[in-house]
Amino acid sequence: MSSVNPRVLLLTGGPIHDWESCAPIVEKILTNRFDVTHTHDIADLSRLASGDFAAVVVLYTRLELTDDQLNTVETFVKNGGGFVALHGTAAFKEQQKLAEFIGCRFASHGAIFDFQVRPTDEAHPVVARTDTFKVTDELYLVDTFADFDTFAVAHWQGKDHPMGYQRNIGNGKLLFLANGHDARAFNNPNVQRMVERATRVACGETFDTKITAGVLGYGGAFNMGKQHAEAINAQLGMETVAVCDLDPTRTAQAKEELGDHIQTWNDPEAFFSESDFDLSIQILPHNIHAEYCIKASNAGKHVVTEKPFCITLDEADQMLAAANASGKMLSAYHNRRWDNDFLCMLDIIRRNEIGKVFRIDAASSSYGPPRDWWRSRKEISGGTMYDWGAHYCDWLLNMMNKPIEHVVGDFQNHKWQQSTNEDYTFALIRFADGTTATLEQGSLAAIHRGGFRILGSDGGLQNSGPHQPVTFKRNSPSGMLESVIEPKGPKTSNSYYQNVANHLIMGEELVVKATEARRAIGVIHLAEESSKQGGKPLVLPGEDKYAETCNYLTPWH
How many Cα atoms sit within 13 Å of 157 on the Cβ side? Answer: 5
Residues with Cβ within 8 Å of residue 178, at least 6 apart in sequence:
87, 90, 139, 140, 142, 154, 161, 162, 163, 164
Q: How many helices (H) and strands (E) does the chain have?
A: 16, 25
Query: Apex CA 433: angle with CA 402 and CA 520, to 5°?
Result: 35
Topology of the domain covering 336-549? Dihydrodipicolinate Reductase; domain 2 (3.30.360)
| pLDDT at site 362 | 98
Q: Where in the chain is the domain with CATH 3.30.360.10?
A: 336-549
Q: What DSSP character marks residue 511? A: S
Q: Give residues with Cβ within 8 angstroms of 52, minimum separation 6.
A: 7
What integer pLDDT is reported at residue 368 of this predicted model? Answer: 93
**Closest C-alpha to 83, from 107, 109, 106, 65:** 65
What's residue 367's pLDDT? 94
Contact 142, 178 (CB under 8 A): yes
What radius of gyration, in Å, describes the C-alpha atoms of the chain?
26
Exposed / middle / buried, residue 374 (Cβ in 10 Å: 0-12, 13-18, 19+): middle
Are residues 174 and 164 in contact, defined by beta-carbon separation less than 8 angstroms?
A: no
CATH number of 221-231+238-322: 3.40.50.720
**Which amino acid is it at 116?**
Q
Give CATH 3.40.50.720 domain extents, the chain: 221-231+238-322
Whose CA is closest to 39, among 61, 19, 9, 63? 9
Sequence-ordered list of residues with C-beta below 8 angstroms from that of 357, at least 6 positions apart, any chain: 349, 399, 400, 435, 454, 455, 456
Query: Residue 308 CA to chain centroid, in angstroms?
Result: 19
pTM for the full predicted model: 0.94
Q: What is the predicted pLDDT for the residue at 557?
A: 35
DSSP secondary structure of 298-353: HTT-EEEEPSS--SSHHHHHHHHHHHHHHT--EEE--GGGG-HHHHHHHHHHHTTT
CA distances, 69 to each of 45, 47, 65, 241, 457 (Å):
7, 10, 6, 52, 56
Give start-end residues of each CATH 3.40.50.880 domain in the chain.
7-202
pLDDT tens for the chain, 557 residues long, are 455 899 999 999 998 888 899 999 999 999 989 999 999 999 999 999 999 999 999 999 999 999 999 999 999 999 999 999 999 999 887 789 999 999 999 999 989 999 999 999 999 999 999 999 999 999 999 999 999 999 999 999 999 999 999 999 999 999 999 999 999 999 999 999 999 999 999 999 999 999 999 999 998 778 899 999 999 999 999 999 999 999 999 999 999 999 999 999 999 999 999 989 999 999 999 999 999 999 999 999 999 999 999 999 999 999 999 999 999 999 999 999 999 999 999 999 999 999 999 999 999 999 999 988 899 999 999 999 999 999 999 999 999 989 999 999 999 999 998 899 999 999 999 999 999 999 999 999 999 889 999 999 999 999 999 999 999 999 999 999 999 999 987 777 789 999 999 999 999 999 999 999 999 999 999 999 999 999 999 999 988 887 777 766 655 43
Q: What's the pLDDT score for residue 442?
A: 95
Number of Cβ atoms within 10 Å of the Cβ of 50: 8
CATH of 7-202, one of 2.40.30.10, 1.10.287.3510, 3.40.50.880, 3.60.15.10: 3.40.50.880
Bridge partners, 198 (sequence order): none
Measured at the alpha carbon of residue 515, what is the angle toward residues 513 and 518, in degrees to the nearest 5?
Answer: 115
End-to-end CA distance of the chain: 33
d(CA 516, CA 392): 13
* Strand ranges (E), 178-277: 211-216, 238-244, 263-265
Length of the chain: 557
